[in-house]
Structures are given as structure tokens and as C-alpha cells.
Amino acid sequence: MSYLALARKWRPRNFSELAGQEHVMRALVNALQTGRVHHAFLFTGTRGVGKTTIARILAKSLNCETGVTPTPCGVCSACREIDEGRFVDLIEVDAASRTKVDDTRELLDNVQYTPTRGRYKVYLIDEVHMLSTHSFNALLKTLEEPPPHVKFLLATTDPQKLPVTVLSRCLQFNLKRFPPGMIFKRLTEVAQAESIEAEPEALRLVARSAEGSMRDALSLLDQVIAFGGNRLTAEDTRTMLGTLDRTEVYSIVEAISSRNARAVLDRVDQLDERAPDYREVLAELAAVLQKVALLQAVPDLQLDEAEDIETYRRLATALTPEDTQLFYQIAIIGRRDLELAPDTRAGFEMVLLRMLAFGVAEPGAARVAAPTTVGRVGAAPRPATAAAVSATPADSSSPEPAKVAPPAASVSNAARPAVSSPVGPQDWHGIVAQLNLVGPVTQLAAHSELVSKQGERVQLALDTAGEPFRRPSLEEKLAQALSSWFGEPIRLEIAMAQAPDTPARRQKIAAEDRLQNARESIENDPNIRAMRDMFGATVQPDSVRPAE
């Protein structure tokens, strides 16, 4: 008994079974319903997205014995023969194997004759971009003025190689790649219909490996079934596909976010036991960081169904947006430079250590948004009284966040006793500096001002600049931090109000003062004055930055 591959068995037979290409389906259905069917269609897109499948459905719609319809019956002789690939009036041509002009002329010699069985003679030319220039010239006249009984359906993965004279004579439809979530949903339906017991994670791995191709996904599913039998596990699927367990990538990101070099190297040791391709590991790492950055920019963004959404949300909270962007850049540059390393593992370790060395945040450092500038990553500290002139103009309207370290005299939250003395609004700045907040919750605290503390009740006034950070999850984190600091449960109440004396405003004023002092220092510098007098030099005010 012959076995029919899943990619062929589950190929859509009509437009209602087609998924993911609604823009193409809508146009073709409307054309068939109104009788305005063009004589030449060009379907473009990457492999396995449905180009020839749509062309065959269109051929059935044109030749179904029930009439020209967007819903072919599928049971008449014409529909069955087209499904089986033996309909005499559907001429399928692989342009990759018939590129010569003589082949094209031979094909077009029969265009003038009426169909043998069907209503239309349909020419389906796959990979049409492989035709030679002379073949396109031979096809051009017929494509421009074909007989009324002929339809041309062209398919290609590379439309840029087609002459504009051909493109201008076709209706062009660009088929989209399938998102992993849609592929995962389809694979789940196929597995259930085939009575295959499959773990969801196994199907997610197949969906990601298909890279947007539904046909590749079904072919990979066939391969996984052959490897694991009628029960598909994530471990077997990962072994067969040679892919990396993304949970290992998550653990690496978590170790980096905690600034734990020992934990990072331990993760590399565990990873090395599987002899992975470290370029692919860095690619997976960059992909994870990209999703994290999306969630940090839009917290309520809905990711694809095939993604581990909760893990991404946890990482988005653990990392700062600055660190995420920096780590992503280091990952993709490290992937490019990995072949220059003495060995791939050493290069991979150096990429991860570079993330630890150049991270924006330090362990336990609270991050408060303020219009002050920081030096280049990795630069040595300079005296606080010195001023520096940047080689490139700086945009003082787009300041970077500043690091705010807790005072040396502060004690850790774990060792802090309960606060018995009254706390007033003037104490809020010192409290914020000692809370050791990290991430967006820092912005919520920095743009707030203490109104009062009465027992367990703490009232804060939130400045309008901090309104984007007023989210239940961040308020809960701030309440937990305050509970640890005060040594008692805290019930937090936040109201929008004018708050002129927030930590963020103080830092803004301090940054402006430092910038003004730096500019005055430059103006009064003897060397600058000498260059101005001798060479007519000028100082661009926007290029002056205060030293760290």
C-alpha cells in the first residue's frame, strides 16, 4: 500500500480550505463571481506558501463541470483529474527544466487550439523566472493577446528576475509567509486527524523550523513521525531537527540579567555537552531578545501562539530596555565575528562576557530616568570636576538614563529594621535611592512624590511624566519594595497630581546645572581661548557634555 505524504494529502482542494492568503483568495473569488477573470496571473512568494496550490484551485474553478465558480464541486471528472494531475487541459510546466526558446515555442504551438475536455486551456508555468531571455520574448506576444480559451498561471520565488514587459501583462499576487502560530495550529489539526499523539512543544519546534513554509512544516512533521513513531515528544523532535532547546537560551538570558558570570559559564558548560552550533545559539539568543524588546516597548503586545509568552514577559521585567538593545547588538555582531575566534566556544563565551562587561545596569543599582548623559560604554571614570568636548554633537533633548547608586551608608533590605520615626515628604528621595529598584518600576518611583505615610498607608502623587508607568504590576513591585524597606506591609495609594519635587525632577535640574558648569568651564579654558584667538575656532554648545 503506497503512502501519501502529508504535504500532498493535506494540500487544500478549494478556496475554503486555504488559510493565510486571504488577500489573494478574496481577489480571485470576487473575479470568479463577477466573471472578470484576467488572462494571466503571477503568484510570487517563498517556497511552500501555496503558489501552485492556488493555481490548481483556480484551474478547477475555471473548468468545473458545474460552471465557472469559486467553489468547485471536487467530484466531477475535471476536478478529480486536476487533483490527480492528469487533466489534459491543465498543462503544468517546470520552467527550471525547460529554459530553452525551442521548448517555449513548442509549448505555444498548441495555444491556438481549443481545449480538449475543459472550458479553458490553462498553462501553469512554475519557477517562470528560470526562462531565458529568448523564451520570454517568445512568450510575450501570446501572453499579451492570448486566445479567449487560454489562461496563464505563472509562479515564481524570484519575481525580480522577470522582465517588466512580462510583469506588466499579469495580475501579480504576493503570497505571504505563514506565521509560526498559524503553522502550529495547522499541525495540531493534522496530528489529531492522523491520530498522532504529539506534545504541543514538539509541534511548536516544527512550526519554527519551517520558517514560514506550510509545505516544509508538513514534510518535517512526516520526518518527525518517522523518527518518533505515533508519539511525538519535544526531546525526539529536537534531536531529529538538531535544534536548540529554547529553555536553555532563556536560562542564559536570565543568568546575564542577574549579572552572574559563574551561572553564565555553567550554562555554557551544560550547552557544550550537546555540541551545538554556536552561531545558531547566538541567532536564537538574538531572536529571544528581539521578542523581549517588543514586550518592553508595548507591554500588552500579543505574541505568536507558538511562543512561550509568560517566559518572555518575565525576561522583559528582568532586563532594562537599554540592556536588551545592547545585548541584541552584541549577539548579532558576535555571530558575525564568531568564525574569527580561536574556537567557537571561546568566541561564544566572550560574547556573553561582553554582555556582562558592557551592561548598562549594575547589580542593585536603581535606574532613574533623567536628562543627564553617560559616557561611552566601558570608558574609564573621569574626575567629576572635569569637562569634556565630544567629537560628535550630542542631542541634549534626548538624554540617557543615569545610574543612581544607593548611598554607602545604606543597609540592605534584608537587614533593615522597621522604621519607627515619622517619615515625611522630604525623606522620599533618600528612600528611593535605597530601594534598589531595577527596570520600569524605578521610573514609577522616580516620578512620584510622597504625600504622607500613615501606618501601613502610603500616599504618592504621580507626576504626569510618570503616567505611562502607572501599571498594576509596577505598583505592586513598588509596594513590595517599600514593605521591605519599612519592615511592615505597605498599602500603596497613587494619584495623579502636580509633583514638582520628584527624584526625576531633581536629577533633571542637577543635570542641567552640570551641563551649564561644563559649558562655562570650556568657555573659560585657556587652551580653548587660545585656539579661538589664533584660529578663530568656535565651540558648539551642543557638543559639550559634563564628565562622569
The 3-state DSSP class for residue 104 equals helix
What is d(CA 131, CA 125) in angstroms, rounded to the nearest whole number?
10
DSSP string, 498-526: --TT-HHHHHHHHHHHHHHHHHHHHHH-H
| CB-count burial class (<10 Å; 0-12, 13-18, 19+) for 429 | middle
The model's confidence at residue 350, banded by pLDDT at 50, 70 and 90, is very high
Grouping H, G, I as helix, E, B as strand and the rest as coil, residue 387 is strand
pLDDT tens column, 460-491: 888 888 888 888 888 888 888 888 888 888 88
Average pLDDT over residues 200-214: 88
Q: Rounded mean pLDDT of 356-373?
A: 49
Q: CA-to-CA distance for 20 and 204, rounded, in angstroms?
A: 18
Mean pLDDT (whole number) for 357-377: 44
pLDDT for residue 254 is more than 50: yes
The b/e string for 201-223 (b: 16+ C-beta within 10 A; e otherwise) is bbbbbbbbbbebbbbbbbbbbee
DSSP string, 280-328: HHHHHHHHHHHHHHHHHHSTT----TTS-HHHHHHHHHHS-HHHHHHHH
pLDDT bucket at 360, cuts 50 / 70 / 90? low
User: Do 366 and 406 touch, CB atoms closer than 8 A?
Assistant: yes
Percent of residues, the chain, with pLDDT higher than 70: 87
For residue 367, name the pLDDT band (cuts at 50, 70, 90).
very low
Cβ–Cβ < 8 Å for 206, 228: no
Chain segment 26-53, per-residue pLDDT in tens: 999 999 999 899 999 999 999 999 999 9
Q: What domains appear along the chain, each with residue ranges and CATH number?
A: 6-174 (3.40.50.300), 180-241 (1.10.8.60), 246-358 (1.20.272.10), 363-374+394-515 (3.30.300.150), 516-546 (no CATH)
Residue carrying C-alpha cell 486536476: 82
The band of 220, judged by pLDDT with boundaries at 50, 70 and 90, is very high
Q: Which of 4-18, 264-278, 443-457, 495-509 has the lowest mean pLDDT?
A: 495-509
Residue carrying C-alpha cell 514638582? 500
pLDDT classification of 538: cutoffs 50, 70, 90: confident
